[in-house]
Amino acid sequence: MNIAILAGGKGKRMNFIEKSMINLCGKKIIDRIYDRFKEFNIVVVCRDERQKSIFKMPSICDSLRNFGPLAGIHSALKYFKDYTAIIATDMPFVKKEVIVEIFNTALMKKADAVIPVWPDLKLEPLLAVYSPSLVDEIERSFLKNERKILNPVFRLERVFLYDVRCLKKFDKNLISFININTFEDLKRAEEICSSIDSGGE
């Protein structure tokens, strides 16, 4: 299984903090994610060479500077040339079983993409699995300065939306989808982390 951790975000809502380097219960977020998936093929996708230099694990740079997560997904797919699970670096509680389930679903359905969806139809494109078939469509988006992830995705035919409620058998509280965009989010994450470390979830 191929895993790409997108670390490129600039943390604008958190005073431009390097979110992957945030310590959560004594461990950097990037290390939490990396250690959980290190048995697989894994790479960290960075916004530029300067950010890349801070990581000690395998890492690459966005294929196009300052284009956001779409460039990171493009780089990951070009790197692996195969199905790739994407995980945003600000999602510290992603469970291995959740990713394995989404990944296996993509393989089974020969999907162009498998993206978790909430009952209110909100999608989770940064905790999803994509096929290399997306590469050409992303490059079309580059040419049109089209930055929304879902624009090139939905130009493909075999896009499957995976109901997050069906993932509760792997992650009963769906903490895999918690991300850290604000200091308030960080406070909540620390509370969850402390609960996990003490035997809760």
User: Distance (Å, rounded) from C-alpha 113 to C-alpha 49?
Assistant: 29
- Averaged pLDDT, 31-51: 94
Residue 18's pLDDT band, with cuts at 50, 70 and 90, is confident
Q: Count the Cβ atoms, other than its own, within 10 Å of residue 40.
A: 14
| 73-116 pLDDT tens trace | 999 999 999 999 999 999 999 999 999 999 999 999 999 999 99
Residue 39's pLDDT band, with cuts at 50, 70 and 90, is very high
Tell me how many degrees the CA angle 109-114-116 measures, rounded to the nearest 5.
135
Cα 183 to the chain's mean position, in Å?
20
pLDDT value, residue 182: 86
Angle subtended by helix axes 29-37 and 96-109, to nearest 10: 50
Q: Pick the most confident of 14-28, 57-71, 122-136.
A: 122-136
Q: Is the pLDDT of residue 72 over 90?
A: yes
What is the domain range of residue 125?
A: 2-197
pLDDT value, residue 11: 57
CATH number at residue 171: 3.90.550.10
Residue 195's pLDDT band, with cuts at 50, 70 and 90, is confident
Cα 108 to the chain's mean position, in Å?
21
Residue type, 179: N
pLDDT value, residue 13: 61
Looking at 3-7, 50-54, 82-86, 145-149, which range is the least confident one?
50-54
Query: Which ranges of the chain does DSSP label H, i.e. alpha helix?
Result: 29-37, 49-52, 69-80, 96-109, 134-144, 150-153, 183-197
- How many structural domains compose the chain? 1
Residue 183's pLDDT band, with cuts at 50, 70 and 90, is confident
pLDDT value, residue 16: 67
Per the structure block, which two tokens stand in for 180?
Answer: 């850290």
Predicted TM-score (pTM) of the model is 0.91
User: Distance (Å, rounded) from C-alpha 86 to C-alpha 188?
Assistant: 23
Per the structure block, which two tokens stand in for 45?
Answer: 């996708």
